Structures are given as C-alpha cells and as structure tokens.
Amino acid sequence: MERIILGIKLVAFDFDGVFTDNMVYVLQDGRESVRCSRSDGLGLEKLRRLGIATAIISTETNPVVSARADKLKVRCIQGCEDKLAALEALTRTGDFGLEAVAFVGNDINDLDCLTHVGLPIVVQDAHPDVVPHAAYRTSRPGGQGAVREICDLFERVLKQH
C-alpha cells in the first residue's frame, strides 16, 4: 500500500458516515446538525502541507456539509447524484487519473468511486457491502477520528520517502 500512497494526488471523502458518526440531529424547526471530530482539521492540514488535494463529495445537499467544508478549507461538491462523474471531473482539472485518487466512503452510494480509484478506503463501521472493495479499512469509526487516521497514515508513509 505504501507504493500506492506515494502516487496519490487527491484524497476525496464522502461526508455522512466518514466525517460524521452517520447520525443526524433533527431540530423542531427541521434544521439538522451532525457530530464531527475536531481532530480531522489537523489531519487535513497535514495533507495540505504534503501537497495532497482534498475534496468532499456528498450525495446530500445540506448547509452543515458546506459549513464544515468551509471551516476545514476543503473543496465540497454536494447534491451529487453521480459521485464517480464528480471525481472524474476533479481528476481532469488536476491532470491525473483515478489511479492517483484515494476515496474514503462508508456505504453503497460510494461503491462506484471505491471500485474505480487507486486507493479505496472505508471507515471501520462501513456497511458490509462495501468493505470487500476496500484496500484499507480504518480502525476508527466514521466521525470518531477516521479522517485523522487516514491523514496520519499518509503523513507517515510520505515522510519515510
């Protein structure tokens, strides 16, 4: 896997179930809130310093996703019915192929991306249908440090080379 990590130029993440614990709080007025790990921000900063681009690609359209992405300084694509097409568009703008992409997901709506990228990653509590398609499964569940774990892994590998 080290060899693969050395060639990664973009790490793209699903949001719900990766940055969050896959739970949603619905307030009386219909607004939603989610729980994320603060340590993810420090991890994402490590990727930036290493020159690795990041993006969030989410099926949902939700202001909470935009707010978190803005705070973390991560490009965000929401309301995405075809995540693979969005990922391919990102690779064209970066002038590299899907083999240079790591995608982090947790459920069946991530399957197309997971099966087409160079490094498919799932969180520890991913749906059983996607686990067999991962080259790496985090030890941490979504929303509880999984994103940070991935960033730390990249930093360890890249600093060794």
Note the pTM of the prediction, 2 decimals: 0.96
Neighbouring-strand partners of residue 107: none
CA 23 to chain centre: 17
Indicate the Cα dihedral angle 83, 112, 125, 36, nearest 10°: -10
How much of the chain is helix, strand and coil, in % rounded to 5? 40, 20, 40
Question: Digits of tens for pLDDT over the chain (161 positions)?
Answer: 899 999 999 999 999 999 999 999 999 999 999 999 999 999 999 999 999 999 999 998 999 999 999 999 999 999 999 999 999 999 999 899 999 999 999 999 999 999 999 999 999 999 999 999 999 999 999 999 999 999 999 999 999 98
pLDDT at 128: 98
| Strand, coil or helix: 119 | strand
- pLDDT at residue 108 in the model: 97
pLDDT value for 59: 93
The interaxial angle of helices 146-160 and 39-49, nearest 10 deg, is: 30
Q: Which domains does the chain have, with CATH numbers?
A: 2-160 (3.40.50.1000)
